[in-house]
Amino acid sequence: METGQQAIIDASLMMDLLAKAAAKTTPHAKRLLDIGCGAGNNTIKTLRYLNGLDCDLVDLSLPMLEKARARILKEKTGEIRLFQGDVREIELGKDTYDVVLAAAVLHHLRDESDWEFVFKKIFDAISPGGSFWISDMVFHDIPVIHELMLEKYKDYLESLGGKEYRAKVFDYIDKEDSPRSLTYQLELMQKVGFEKVEILHKSSCFAAFGGIKTKL
């Protein structure tokens, strides 16, 4: 919980920033959606600033969902619902959630239509005045800056586990991931309807950011 995923730079800091941003911008929140919840770390952290939320958890792994529920039940929370599957295929409804979290998951989206579909779906699912907070790997639009940041990340991974660990992580990224730049995602958020967007933190290839759905 405190260290986060070691392959993600500043994971613990970004998790705390997402939780605090949700609490500051959406103090009235009643229901939270955690996309790609894993073991529930981000929901747990958020509940410590916004007690008593009803929580909907989405993940591809049923064992992870069950583990997350067991951990979240130890916090002060309301109803917990589990949804096993891909967020692209799960019905989220309209104006359903006050807070949506997506940590280390959206980089799996593929082409432009995929990205826009999911961002619009999430926007529609957020109630007016609600907020959407993301922490994830990001790439860069300027090629030389992209290479600079990748080299910094490679050095970080090598400091953790040597060249073999660095190679393992980048092999996975090449096969499974298709991150977009921070600029691209902020512009996409505005395109689908978020009028206010904000950067919370950025270090190398990782960033925390989000937006607010303006009240009607």
Task: Report the pLDDT value the prediction gives residue 6, as an integer from 0 to 100.
Answer: 83
Domain that includes residue 125, residue range: 11-140+177-212
Average pLDDT for 124-142: 97
For residue 76, tell me if it sits in a domain.
yes
* The overall pTM is greater than 0.75: yes
**DSSP secondary structure string for all residues of 128-166:** EEEEEEEEEE-B-SSHHHHHHHHHHHHHHHHHHHHHHHH
Task: Report the pLDDT value the prediction gives residue 177, as an integer from 0 to 100.
Answer: 87
Condensed to tens digits (0 to 9), the pLDDT of residues 67-103 reads 999 999 999 999 999 999 999 999 999 999 999 999 9
Q: Is the pLDDT of residue 2 over 70?
A: no
Specify the number of domains making up the chain: 1
For residue 161, tell me if it sits in a domain.
no
For residue 181, tell me if it sits in a domain.
yes
CB atoms within 10 A of CB 52: 11
For residue 6, tell me if it sits in a domain.
no
Q: Cα(125)–Cα(187) distance, rounded to whole angstroms?
A: 19
Element (H, E) at 34: strand 31-35
Give the domain CATH number at 22.
3.40.50.150
For residue 3, tell me if it sits in a domain.
no
For residue 109, tell me if it sits in a domain.
yes
Q: Is the pLDDT of residue 3 over 60?
A: no
Residue 184 DSSP class: H
